[in-house]
Amino acid sequence: MNRSGAKIVMEALVREGVDTIFGYPGGVVLPLYDEMLNWPQVRHVLVRHEQCAAHMADGYARATGNVGVCLATSGPGATNLVTGIATAIMDGIPMVAITGNVNSWAIGKDAFQETDIQGITIPITKHNYLVTNIDELPQVLAEAFYLANTGRKGPVLVDIPKDVFTATTSAPFPTTISRRGYTVPGAPPKDQIEEAVRLIKGAKRPVMIAGAGVLHSGAMEELRYFAETTKIPVINSLLGLGSIPRDHELSLGMMGMHGEATGTLAVQEADLVLGIGIRFDDRLTGNTSGFAPKAKIVHFDLDPSEIGKTVTPVAWVVGDLKASLSAVNKLIEPQDRPEWLAQIKKWQSAYPLIVPQGRFLSRTVLKALNDHTKGEAIVATDVGQHQMWTAQFYRMKKPLSFLSSGGLGTMGYGFPAAMGAKFARPDEEVWAVVGDGGFQMTLQELQTAVEYNCNVKICLLNNGFLGMVRQWQELFYDNRHSHVAMGSPDFGKLADAYGVQFYRCSRMEDIADTLKGASEHDGPVLCEFVVEMEENVFPMVGPGASNSALVMDPDLEPSEAAHKAGAFETTHAGALHV
């Protein structure tokens, strides 16, 4: 049956089970927006800036594991998606971005609102399409969803000229998708599994670093069984948080530049490091020449190009992580390693994360947020100090409940991502943890939250600075503050103007009540916490330094326990000045 390109797009969304899309109309997508009125089963969320449509689609995807969809018009609409698409590719988030373009006969003639969005997004998409033939549209859309959500996931952009939305075709959707040269990784080769198991059985001080790959492949149960059977402690990359409950006895939390000391120290002392669905990025490894100096590295990943990209493993297991860990689990036997686990306990007691008492700090608030939600809410962060503190202090109990722009480090991400998560999982409590800097990049979405009664709770940590940049200026630029002091509007008046419930909290004793009040309010809430201005994130590995040069929190008293923990000479914050 002949139907229009616009109708085919809506059909594709329904076929793929998409219940919500995030978009913004404009000239060339008018035929699609008109058709949309006939499809009440697909909710369209009208954002206030296309970047946030992409971030909401990203949050929707991270909170569910399903493909998030965003939609924009040609030219500036399309280019506004770019930051959100780049955020998604870095973190392997399944997303389909649909853009309109000028009529196909006008392409290349610098028509009004024309831009080469296919060319622009080549380096930041898994794949992209410019569809100039209506007969190809069903196949392209089906393929776009398939590519976005299989193998190493990522954003796929489909650019559709206006005349293709209105042209008609009887071309059917494909019943199966196969693309020559594209195979979805399955179980790894048997010899790779056997070699990994041999190394695991022989290890005395093994650790594993579990990353986002575990969450993408849904291998949480397999990971937990593997850890519990072998008694191998589980460290996380930033985006791997949630792959094991944070209160699990083998969970050591995040490692790396601002990770917990125990994980970072354990990797430096380990004789075997299993990288499970991580890409050994620079924030995790520090200077790679000093990374895990005593360890053999075994890398589990589904993407062959990650093997050997930044560190050199002695063995690797390339395949879907759920299949890989299942295969490993069949060959392992229960092990115990009391000495190694005792050493780790010593580090934990010697170098805990601390919240100095009697001060109104970001950490004070985030510790309280963790206590308030019991680690059961979905938390999306922005980027900067508060992001690291959330990673440190939020002890998530469930997977798909920590959303953060890890790879690209996109300020402005947290609030719209939280909204995307709330649209996807309305029954969950969703918090956005943001700073005063990043929040001002995307706060126009308060209006979107109000219109859709998107019941997100915003924990705004206002320290009047771009805190992480200020911290680096303090540590590496002789404390010369260059353009990091940041003014803000009166957030109370701003919330009033948008009609958003607002609480300002500047006293320690009010924190718990503020959080409680926010949770109990039916609708979006902005909670502003006026925290101390100059608080730094520790532990810290300086940029370009080895993880062995871990700098502990200067407020951490070197205790008797620390001396007993031994094995490591930690440095004082002053050492970072070099």
Partner 1 sequence: MSTHQHTITALVQNEAGTINRLVSLFRRRGFSLASFNAGDCEDPGYSRLTFIVNGDDAVVSQCLKQLNKLIDVIECEDLEPEHSVQRELALIRVEPTSEQRAAVHGIVSEFMARTPRTTATTIVVEQVSDVASLERLIAALMPYNVTEIVRTGTVAIKV
254 annotated active-site: no
- In degrees and rounded to multiples of 5, residue 544 shows phi and psi of 85, -5
Containing H/E element for 95?
A: strand 95-101
Pick between residue 136 and residue 371 the one whose CB is nearest to partner 1.
136
Among 11, 113, 139, 228, the one annotated catalytic? 113
Query: What minimum distance in Å lies between the beta carbon of 314 and partner 1?
Result: 15
How many Cβ atoms are within 10 Å of 204's Cβ, its own excluded?
10
- Burial of 324-333, coded b for 16+ CB within 10 Å and e otherwise, reads bbbbbbeebe
533 annotated active-site: no
457 annotated active-site: no
d(CA 349, CA 559): 10
Contacts of 275 (CB under 8 A, 6+ apart): 208, 209, 211, 297, 298, 299, 300, 301, 311, 313
41 annotated active-site: no
Distances (CA, A) of 476 to 192, 287, 288, 532, 542: 44, 17, 21, 21, 9
List alpha helices for 487-553, DSSP H. Answer: 491-498, 511-520
473 annotated active-site: no
Pick between residue 155 and residue 539 the one whose CB is nearest to partner 1.
155
Under DSSP, the state recorded for 302 is S
Among 16, 50, 306, 474, the one annotated catalytic? 50
Query: What minimum distance in Å lies between the beta carbon of 128 and partner 1?
Result: 7
Query: What minimum distance in Å lies between the beta carbon of 512 and partner 1?
Result: 49
Query: DSSP string covering 132-196, please?
Result: --GGGHHHHHHHHHHHHTSSS--EEEEEEEHHHHH-EE-PPPPSS---TT-----SPPHHHHHHH
Query: What minimum distance in Å lies between the beta carbon of 280 and partner 1?
Result: 13
Query: What minimum distance in Å lies between the beta carbon of 123 and partner 1?
Result: 5
Pick between residue 34 and residue 116 the one whose CB is nearest to partner 1.
116
Containing H/E element for 275?
A: strand 272-276
3-class DSSP state of 569: coil
Pick between residue 112 and residue 182 the one whose CB is nearest to partner 1.
182
Among 257, 468, 540, 552, the one annotated catalytic? 468
Pick between residue 35 and residue 143 the one whose CB is nearest to partner 1.
143
Burial of 572 (0-12, 13-18, 19+ CB in 10 A): exposed
Q: Which of 340, 326, 441, 324 is nearest to 87 (CA)?
A: 441
Query: What minimum distance in Å lies between the beta carbon of 116 and partner 1?
Result: 10
Pick between residue 14 and residue 122 the one whose CB is nearest to partner 1.
122
List alpha helices for 425-533, DSSP H. Answer: 436-442, 446-451, 467-476, 491-498, 511-520
Pick between residue 125 and residue 230 the one whose CB is nearest to partner 1.
125
430 token code pair: 């969703």
Whether 6 and 32 have beta carbons less than 8 Å apart is answered as: yes
Contacts to partner 1 by CB under 8 A: 118-119, 122-123, 126-130, 132, 147, 152, 179-182, 303-305, 307-309
Pick between residue 129 and residue 502 the one whose CB is nearest to partner 1.
129
d(CA 564, CA 240): 31
Query: What minimum distance in Å lies between the beta carbon of 298 and partner 1?
Result: 18
Query: What minimum distance in Å lies between the beta carbon of 130 and partner 1?
Result: 5
- Which of the residues are catalytic? 50, 112-113, 162, 468
